[in-house]
Structure formats: structure tokens, C-alpha cells
A and B are shown apart, each in its own frame.
Chain A
Amino acid sequence: MPDPDIQYRPLTPAEEARRRKRSVAIALALGAWVLLFFVLTIVKLGPQILSRPL
């Protein structure tokens, strides 16, 4: 909840552009994180990944 004693100002266009780039970088990093764990799982389990009780 915003502090009523604090006066916020809008971001400048340059600051907004930086925030957009940071957001894209975070999204890409999250995607890479998911991909990394996917690859790790496949490599660790190998063919056994399909050999499990249903």
C-alpha cells in the first residue's frame, strides 16, 4: 500500500525504456532457467525418463 507521506513522480521515458528492457531480460532469464532444468532432467534421467509406473 503506498505511503501517504511519500509523493511519487511518474517515470521518465528513459526510465520506462530501461524498465521494459529489464522486464524482457528477466523473462528471458526465467525461460533459460526452465530450459536449464528441463535439459538437466533429461540428461540426468536419460532413457529412464519414460520408464516409470503410470
Chain B
Amino acid sequence: MTSLTNSIGPDVPAPAAFTAVGGDVPDYFALLKPRVMVLVIFTALVGMVVSQGHVQPAIGVISLLAIAVGAGASGCLNMWWDSDIDAVMVRTAKRPIPAGRVSSEEALGFGLFLSVASVLVLGLAANWLAAALLGFTIVFYAVIYSMWLKRATAQNIVIGGAAGALPPVIGQAVVSGSVGIESLVLFAIIFIWTPPHFWALALIKADEYARAGIPMMPNVAGPASTRRQIVWYSVLLAPLGLVPVVLDFGGLLYAVVGLIGGLGMVAFSIRVLRNREGDAEKRAAMGMFGFSILYLFALFSALLAEQSFGLFRPVLG
């Protein structure tokens, strides 16, 4: 006779994920990766404000909510699929599924429901182009990245970075009903920003990724090659970050932030290249990781401030 804890999992030695009887409310919230959701709301909002168009404020708020929930749903599906590797990595072992607070089945159902609901709400509130882009983002992150790329290739976060770069494009689609050059430039900036950002962390966590069997760049191509690639991506990112100025939707404030930030990215990447041993290596990599977050946040904040608070001063005529 089998004994069950409530009706979900066997009361015999089994993976933690199968003994959960239902988590606390914050556990389900944690499944949505709230910090990623905040970043998605922020970048989608900037995609909306740089667009040529107008959206009713209530529709804008509901659309942002739908985009955030859609991003959260894809994070939830990612945690469902990756619970086995999350369990062996220190950084992720305390997540609700590997810690046994929420069952895999619950997370799957939660993620699927929120995916469908968010796309439906965005389609009804804004338009079906924005909804289709959100649906594509969810599928790209949950299926293409999580289920395929992440465990298959060292280019996982390079290609998978497209999912994280799409929110500004969705934001512009909400406002204008189309995809314009402004949001595509923002997409490109986030896309090129992603590899140096994640590889800086991967350099430090290489052992953990190796234990989990994830082919991150430092584990496949080696730390030296990864460091060189971090520099190349940073060198590419610095001028790319200034394209909004050339296209005249980034003003003087943005130009200053973009120039200083871009030079900072290159400087931090060179520091990563030069410091290859011990604590200096860790400090350099964590410095790169932290500065890259600050850089992207500052770039998008500058655009938001210029477009929303009348701070825009054209640089080129």
C-alpha cells in the first residue's frame, strides 16, 4: 500500500519535488522571478515611451501588467523544466521546486495558465501583434532556451538572450501597433549586452555549471576565450549604445550616459581580461557583472527621463 502526503506525492524516499503538499503564497510569487519581472516592466515601459504614438494610460498599465505576468510565466516554466539542475547549484537550490515547497506539477500548471492568460489579456487590451510577440517570447524562453539551447550549446545565453531583449519591442507594439527601428535598436542593445553580463557570472560559477552539466562558455571554450569574448562584446556594445543618439530618440543626457557607460563596460571587460587568478579574478568578474546591470539601467533610465520629463535635448541638430 502506498502512503501519500495529502494527494500529491508518495511518503517514501523520493525527490523533494514530489513530496510537496502546496507551498506558501510567496513561493508561487518566487516562481515568477520577480526581479526579472521588474526589469521586463522597465524595459517594456521604455519601449512604449520611445514609440511614436499614444496609448490610453489604463491600457498602458494593463499591458505592462500582462507583459510582466507573461515574463513571470516563462520564468515559472523555466524553473519547472530546470528543477533538476537548480537542485545541484548553490545559487538556485533554494528555489521553491528543488527545495520541495512546490511540486513540479503545480509549477507547470501555474506557468501554463499564466502564459495563456497574459497573452489573452494583452491581445484584448492592446492588440494581437503585441500579444503574438509576448507569446513568442514565452515560447522562446521556455522551450527554445530552457528545453533546448541551455543544455545543448555554449551559445545558449547568446541566442536565448533574444527572449530578454524583446520586451521593448512588445512595448512599442502596444503603443503603435507595429515594430519600429527604436525598439529594434533597444532589442539589439540588450541582446549584445547579455553575453558579457552572464559570462562574467559564469566565470566565477564555472564549477557549479560544470557540476550541473550546463555548457556555459567558460566550461566549453575555457576562461581565456570567454574573457576575450567579453571584451569583444563590450567593444561592440559601447558604440551600439549610442545609436539612439544617431537616430534622434536619445538626447544629450542619454549621449553622456551612453558614452561614459560604454567606456565603463570596455574598461571593466579589460579588467576581466587582465585579472585571471584568485580574488582579483573574482573581483574583476563581479565588478563586470555589477557594472553591466548599472549600465543597462542607466541607459534605459536616461531614455525614460528624456521622453517622460521633457529632458530631451537633441545632440545632432
A contact set with B: CB distance below 8 Å: 5-9, 11, 15, 18-19, 21-22, 25, 33, 36, 39-40, 43-44
Contacts and interface: CB of A to CB of B under 8 A. Distances in A.
Nearest to B124: A40
Contacts, number: 53
A48 to B, nearest CB: 14
B2 A7 contact: yes
Given A19-B22, A39-B58, A9 B1 contact: no
B52 interface: no
B143 to A, nearest CB: 26
B21 A11 contact: yes
A22 B22 contact: yes
B58 to A, nearest CB: 5
A18 B22 contact: yes
Contacts of A44: 59, 125
B178 interface: no
Contact of B24 (A5, A11, A18): A18
Contact of B25 (A9, A22, A39): A22
Contact of B5 (A9, A36, A43): A9
Nearest to A42: B58
Nearest to A7: B3
A21 B24 contact: yes
Interface in B129-149: none
Interface of A is mostly: helix
A6 B2 contact: yes
Given A15-B22, A25-B25, A6 B4 contact: yes
Taking residues whose C-beta sits less than 8 angstroms from the other chain, chain B's interface range is 20 to 34
26 contacts: A5-B1, A6-B1, A6-B4, A7-B1, A7-B2, A7-B4, A8-B6, A9-B5, A9-B6, A9-B11, A11-B21, A15-B6, A15-B22, A18-B22, A19-B22, A22-B23, A22-B25, A25-B25, A36-B65, A39-B58, A40-B59, A40-B62, A40-B121, A40-B125, A43-B58, A43-B59
Interface string B152-192: 00000000000000000000000000000000000000000
Given A9-B5, A11-B6, A36 B24 contact: no
Nearest to A17: B24
Given A15-B22, A43-B59, A44-B125, 12 more contacts: A8-B7, A9-B6, A9-B11, A11-B21, A15-B6, A15-B21, A22-B24, A25-B25, A40-B59, A40-B121, A40-B124, A43-B58
Contacts of B56: 43
Interface string B18-46: 00011111001000000000000000000
Contacts of B3: 6-7, 9
Closest 8 A/B residue pairs (Cβ): A7-B3, A43-B58, A25-B25, A21-B25, A18-B24, A6-B4, A15-B21, A6-B2
